[in-house]
């Protein structure tokens, strides 16, 4: 896909992977909208990337409706949804509360699914489109304290396979990106971004992986791409 002139919606675009992805896609000539819950941070990200800010929470169905209404009214169409919004709770199983699971799943699973549902309707009608789900290598293998988060990423991986099976006949590409550890604001109580670490991945590297996957010719696609640091130890 030639990114120039394409209309792309990125959830979780205030910080980290979402913000860098928006910036790089906009530099390629794409028209980009970003969503996020913090209006101030989202505004800063929009100013630095050239994207259009839509203050919205993907776990809120009314916000999803408003996101699509605003994006489509402003840009007149949609070529790609990047499901990047995500949260995490890490607790041992014996200390995990039902509310922890519900909070993570409302964003990482239900929010992603409902955002994708709206995109799928548009893409099926126009017979083209792209959905990129940002999962995690945590969706490949579990670890201690990961019950809520890991389960949500396994679920996103499974949903990706389902959507791919449903939408390929409509020329819709559904791509899963699994980043390994990227020092970002993820998991930080005050949403302060962590500094880059020489042996870890960066948000920019994941953004370029997303860009590369989208730039493949429309006749082909990468179903799943996992990105690991060479030596994170």
Which residues participate in catalysis according to the annotation?
Answer: 149
Whether 81 and 173 have beta carbons less than 8 Å apart is answered as no
Name all contacts of 158-163 with Cβ < 8 Å and 24+ positions apart: 159/109, 159/112, 159/113, 159/116, 159/133, 160/133, 160/135, 160/224, 163/116, 163/120, 163/131
DSSP characters over 2-53: --TT-EEEESS-SSHHHHHHHHHHHHTT-EEEEEES-HHHHHHHHHHHTPEE
Whether 194 and 188 have beta carbons less than 8 Å apart is answered as yes
DSSP class of residue 230 equals S
Beta carbons within 10 angstroms of residue 65's beta carbon: 13
Cβ-based burial of 10 (10 A; exposed 0-12, middle 13-18, buried ≥19): buried
Beta carbons within 10 angstroms of residue 36's beta carbon: 27
């Amino acid at each position: 896909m030639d990114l120039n002139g394409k209309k792309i919606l990125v959830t979780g675009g205030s910080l980290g992977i979402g913000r860098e992805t928006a910036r790089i896609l906009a530099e390629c000539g794409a028209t980009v909208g970003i969503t996020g819950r913090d209006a101030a941070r989202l505004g800063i990200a929009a100013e630095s990337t050239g994207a259009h800010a839509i203050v919205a929470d993907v776990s809120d169905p009314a916000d999803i409706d408003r996101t699509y209404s605003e994006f489509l009214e402003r840009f007149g169409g949609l070529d790609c949804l990047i499901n990047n919004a995500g949260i995490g709770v890490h607790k041992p199983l014996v200390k995990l509360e039902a509310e922890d699971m519900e909070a993570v799943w409302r964003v990482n699973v239900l929010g992603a699914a409902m955002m994708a549902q709206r995109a799928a309707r548009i893409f099926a009608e126009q017979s083209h489109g792209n959905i990129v789900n940002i999962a995690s290598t945590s969706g490949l293998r579990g670890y201690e304290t990961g019950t809520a988060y890991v389960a949500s990423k396994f679920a996103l991986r499974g949903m990706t396979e389902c959507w791919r099976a449903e939408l390929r006949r409509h020329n819709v590409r559904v791509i899963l990106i699994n980043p390994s550890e990227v020092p970002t604001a993820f998991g930080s109580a005050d949403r302060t971004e962590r500094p880059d670490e020489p042996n870890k991945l960066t948000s920019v590297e994941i953004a370029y992986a997303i860009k590369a996957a989208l730039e493949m010719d429309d006749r082909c696609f990468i179903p799943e791409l996992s990105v690991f640091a060479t030596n994170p130890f």
